[in-house]
Amino acid sequence: MARFRRMKTEVRALLAGPDQDGVLARLAGLPAAELVGPLFSLLLAPEETLRWRAVTALGATVARMADEAPEAARVVMRRFLWHMNEESGNIGWGIAEAMGEAMARSALLAREYHRNLASYVQCPQCSIGDDNFLDHPPLRLGVYWALGRLGEARPGLLGHVAPDLLRALGQEPGAQARGLVARALGLGGIAAAREALEPLADAADPVDIYRGGALERTTLGALAREALDAIRGHEERA
């Protein structure tokens, strides 16, 4: 327990520091198995920026484990899945985001778990399989962000969830959710989304997003335009 507390204090100091260049490299010099617990706990830190940095660091750590000890990484991924399960008694703040980060960084984990991540936003009446749909809208935001992060690195893995993302673009009640969905559709190169994205291009509703290592305020319209540009880019490269 004392070692855990020391590690958490050390990791928190690194993630809270003003200069984040090289932090992941410094964490990579620490034992991955010992980092997982402290980083899990920091997903619930009161500071939003610190929580997001913990997401990045935890995803990078689990991806490193996938290279060094794949079964150990699978154990952590199963822990993520358990935390997303209502029966666990937990509220999965930051869990979907960490899953998405890990899969963006690890081809192995992406291949094995991308459908689990997508299942949390798949319409239970429209999909075959277990009903994992998250009824709590704030938790779905994390999944939409995670799918965008996955699409950023591995766009080919979002095709199967495209119908559910398109439904969400039209049915989610808030601009925050719709902006994150638009981003995922664009990064996934989902050409069928163009018709639904075009009417949103001038929407001024504010959306907050974490990307490139920083929190930023943008708009639903800006994200829709970025998504349309991304789709065009995918088509030009095809």
Mean pLDDT of the chain: 94
Task: Return all residues near 163 (Cβ < 8 A) that are at least 6 apart.
Answer: 126
**Which pLDDT tens digit goes with each residue over 19-72?**
888 999 999 999 999 999 999 999 999 999 999 999 999 999 999 999 999 999
Alpha helices in the chain (DSSP H): 2-16, 23-28, 32-42, 48-68, 70-83, 95-105, 107-119, 137-153, 162-171, 175-187, 194-197, 220-237
Q: Please give the average per-residue pLDDT across 193-207, as a whole number.
A: 98
Alpha helices in 120-219 (DSSP H): 137-153, 162-171, 175-187, 194-197
pLDDT score of 91: 76
